[in-house]
Structure 1
Amino acid sequence: MPPFPTDRFGLIHRDAALNAGFSDEQLSGATARRELVRLIPGVWTPALDVPTGADSLEKRHRLRALAVATSGPADGHPLSHVSAAALHELPMLHPDLSLVHVTTGRTSGGSIRAHRHLHAAPLEAGEVVEVDVIRVTSIERTAVDVATMSNFDQALVIFDAALREGADQTVMADLLAGRRRRSARNARRALPFANAAAESVGESWGRAQMIDAGLPIPTLQREFVIGGHTYRSDFDWEELLVGEFDGLHKYGRLRSADESATDVVVREKLREDRLRAKGITVVRWTWSTLEKRQLAPLLQPWLAKLGLFAA
């Protein structure tokens, strides 16, 4: 059987398939054989194109959001909230991706349907942009919308991510100033702490836990020059304590094309040895540390010992 017709995003729409001579039975059969995956009623993607691995949930949500955006009328509402974040490729912390979110631009008429959440809220002209010809809320509006539906940790993660992509912090502050709902409280608290130098969800989440615990705010991505080598730390306190987050892709990110994973581990150990030889304490943690909220108890004794925190 010839392949089903796809659009520019690799999606298969029922109407296009029927117009190309395929039948509903063929679409259903391909779905039953797991050759196709249904994203929303009337839209599929080839099973081989379904993202897997790290960040796959957000990438799958992006496909669902595209399915919604390409199935409505030409003047359809822009994607917003976590769905716009997926299009902007803004990483999030534990987002609720069960529904595709759109904003109507009106003050009333919001609703929740089987796979879509329509938000009734005004939209200024500058708050709607295009990403791959799909209308979405701007990065600033998207970050604020996500943050106001989130806890403090999640809000800081999305604001850090938005700043990394060039978002204007003043614009986000202005947008927040107009939010009256109690849900904006976490976002207002998080925005002043936002920092584009945070390089990952894990680094942002770790800093959120430090802030919650009242720990001193570290310098991010400080560079140390030792023996002619330049080393950069995830977190640094007064060049006395360095904190390193070992995320899932830490070593993959650090590895150059001609290095093995073992080479990177050895290089990182030498780096730590040189930092310690200069009198700098190095503390490491993993995603599990963050999940169990054990970061503050891990750091407090070291900060106190080095005179950086009153225990």
Structure 2
Amino acid sequence: MPQTSLIGRADATAVLYLARCLAAATGPHAMVLSHESAAAVHGFALLYPDRAHVHMTNGRPGGGYKQERRIVHTGVLADDDITEVDGVLVTSMGRTVVDLALAAKHFAQALTAFDVGLAKSPPAGDDECRDEMARALASSRRGVALARRALSFADGRAESPGESWSRAHIINAGLPIPDLQVRYRLRSGRTAFCDFGTMGRFVGEFDGLVKYRRDMRNGEEPEDVVIREKIREDELRDLGLDVARWTWDDLRTGRVVSIVRKHYEDAGII
């Protein structure tokens, strides 16, 4: 079983949940952490993860149960399904992603899990990782149809759950699927990296708070980032690109589809 290390987390809720998982994994009757709990240890960013329960897998075909703050899943675990992180046993990254996709309630959640799994795969190991996940989904079981569909669209270039959810909306609507992390050379000489790009005519940006915090420079206010982004957007339009932005609220309400469709029509994509 390979060993890795825990990394720092900025989200206080995530930190608290991770602490609960580690306590359960080192306490009496401890089992292998799995599902959202293993994802917390691996540092996976998921779409609306269940942090109300610590998830464990008992390594057997039966005997699972659910308590107020703990869910014990059934399932045989092979040696390569388990890894050790700072002395804590968790399901491997590949097994964790597959478990999450099989348990997902929605396509977007399963897609997010596979996106992050591919993003965490070793460099140049995308195909091998995808093949391994496909083999894990070869047998018929609950949730496998949704998981297989999500894997067929998974892309490790997605950088956040918001980007994965955006793509899920576009895929489910049957719209042309954009490329990810497209780059353009601007008149200022800067290179713009855009979340989504379609046919060299359209670029889309998911605006999450994390992105704005990440882009803030020392001594800057949030307004400075907004102004800089507005200038960048104008430079993208100077290249003849149609530019759209959307937020978490647009994702939650499903407005992303109408936003993208309108811009696709304006850009002559559909």
Query: When the two structures are superposed, what TM-score results if normalisation uses the length of structure 1?
Result: 0.78
1:224 Cα shift? 0.3
Which of 9, 17, 26 is the equivalent residue of 1:70? Answer: 26
Give the % identical residues. Answer: 44
1:191 Cα shift? 0.6
- Counterpart mapping for 1:138-157 below 5 A: 138-150=92-104, 151-157=106-112
Which of 223, 228, 237 is the equivalent residue of 1:267? Answer: 228
Q: Name whichever of 237-246 and 112-121 sits farther off.
A: 112-121
Is the counterpart of residue 284 in structure 1 residue 245 in structure 2?
Answer: yes
Aligned pairs, number: 255
Contact 1:149 1:184 in 2 (8 A): no
- Give unpaired runs (5+ residues) of structure 1: 1-8, 10-50
Q: Which has the higher contact order (CA 8 A, sep 6+)?
A: 2
Show CA shifts across 1:155-214 (max 9, x none): 011111111211722211111113x22312211110111111111111110001100001
Aligned counterparts of 1:62 and 1:129: Cα–Cα separation in 2: 17
Q: Which has the larger radius of gyration?
A: 1
Question: Corresponding residue for 1:57?
Answer: 13
Question: Corresponding residue for 1:256?
Answer: 217
- Partner-residue secondary structure (3-state), 2:176: coil
For the aligned residues, what is the CA RMSD?
1.8
- Counterpart mapping for 1:154-233 below 5 A: 154-166=109-121, 168-178=129-139, 180-227=140-187, 228-233=189-194
Is the counterpart of residue 92 in structure 1 residue 52 in structure 2?
Answer: no
Q: Which amino acid aligns with 2:184?
A: F
Q: Name whichever of 205-214 and 261-270 sits farther off.
A: 261-270
Is the counterpart of residue 129 in structure 1 residue 83 in structure 2?
Answer: yes
Question: Corresponding residue for 1:234?
Answer: 195
- Give unpaired runs (5+ residues) of structure 2: 1-5, 123-128
Contact 2:242 2:267 in 1 (8 A): no
- Partner-residue secondary structure (3-state), 2:197: strand
Distance 1:254 1:106, change over 3 A: same
- Partner-residue secondary structure (3-state), 1:232: strand
Query: When the two structures are superposed, what TM-score results if normalisation uses the length of structure 2?
Result: 0.89
Q: Which amino acid aligns with 2:151?
A: L
Q: Name whichever of 64-73 and 185-194 sits farther off.
A: 64-73
Show CA shifts across 1:123-147 (max 9, x none): 1111100112110000110011011
